[in-house]
Amino acid sequence: MNPLTRVGLKLARQINNLAKSPRQHRAAAAFDAVALGRGDVAIDCGANVGEITARMAANGATVHAFEPSPIAFEALTGKTAGLDSVVAHQCAVSDHDGTARLYLHRKFKHSPLGHSAGSSLKAAKHNLDPDHSIEVPTIDLADFIESLPSRVRVLKIDIEGLEVMLINHLIDRGVLDRIDQVFCETHEFKVPGLLTECRALRRRLAIENICHVNLDWA
């Protein structure tokens, strides 16, 4: 990335953060206000080491936690070992079943677990090393949601730059009607072109009157 582009992105990010901060606070409050318990189903996409997974499962809700990074998945299963209602899936959520390359953070070797959260299927993400990746399985999230016997109370998505693609896929497949609330972190300044895609998704949500998808979480 050339210096002018970097400066421009930094300025745009600062302006966006000023506008987004109040929305983030409201989104965080809305997420925290969801009361999950036994009989409820939640999905954590990009579970990493299980911090959010454990919170959602604390009162007995069934939580399907998806995490493709082997080192993060090990920490996730360790953290949730005492929570019988957590179902951990070592794969990346996507719009298809198969495999993909998971690109690692450029400082991964200095702190593998600490930098595992930055890993992404998007090679162009700014903080990744495009020369270091591993192959991971992928699962079609729409198919998975359709296979569940009950509604999903909460879907949390934090998958390092593929959130817009995934939500568009869920809309296209008609499965958002099976989910009560969606909370998503969009990473729009970490992947070239993603800001434009994110704005287009916001317009789509407004046009189609989809009100239960929150793109301002975290």
Cα–Cα distance measured from residue 202 to residue 29, given in angstroms and rounded to the nearest whole number: 20
Whether 170 and 141 have beta carbons less than 8 Å apart is answered as yes
Query: Does residue 86 form part of some domain?
Result: yes
Per-residue pLDDT, 5? 56
Query: Does residue 127 form part of some domain?
Result: yes
Query: Does residue 94 form part of some domain?
Result: yes
Cα–Cα distance measured from residue 77 to residue 215, given in angstroms and rounded to the nearest whole number: 27
Could you read off the pLDDT of 107-158 as tens digits, one per residue?
988 898 988 888 999 988 988 899 999 999 999 999 999 999 999 999 999 9
Query: Does residue 80 form part of some domain?
Result: yes
Query: Does residue 8 form part of some domain?
Result: no
Q: Domain of 53?
A: 36-158
Reported as half-sphere exposure (CB side, CA atoms, 13 A), residue 217 has a value of 22
Per-residue pLDDT, 15? 52
Look up the pTM and report it: 0.89
Number of domains in the chain: 1
Per-residue pLDDT, 21? 80
Any idea what the Cα angle at residue 97 is, between residues 93 and 101, rounded to 5°?
65
Per-residue pLDDT, 7? 53
Per-residue pLDDT, 40? 98
Could you read off the pLDDT of 48-92 as tens digits, one per residue?
999 999 999 999 999 999 999 999 999 999 999 999 999 999 999
Strands 98-105 and 128-140 turn out to be antiparallel
Query: Does residue 10 form part of some domain?
Result: no
Whether 47 and 80 have beta carbons less than 8 Å apart is answered as no
- Residue 101: strand, helix, or coil: strand
Cα–Cα distance measured from residue 161 to residue 158, given in angstroms and rounded to the nearest whole number: 8
Instruction: Report the first-to-last Cα separation within the chain, whole angstroms.
Output: 26
Sign for the CA dihedral angle at 24, 28, 31, 35 comes to negative
Could you read off the pLDDT of 10-51 as tens digits, one per residue?
555 555 555 568 888 999 899 999 999 999 999 999 999 999
Strands 98-105 and 92-94 turn out to be unpaired
Per-residue pLDDT, 23? 87
Dihedral angle at the C-alpha atoms of 21, 120, 42, 113, nearest 10 degrees?
A: -90
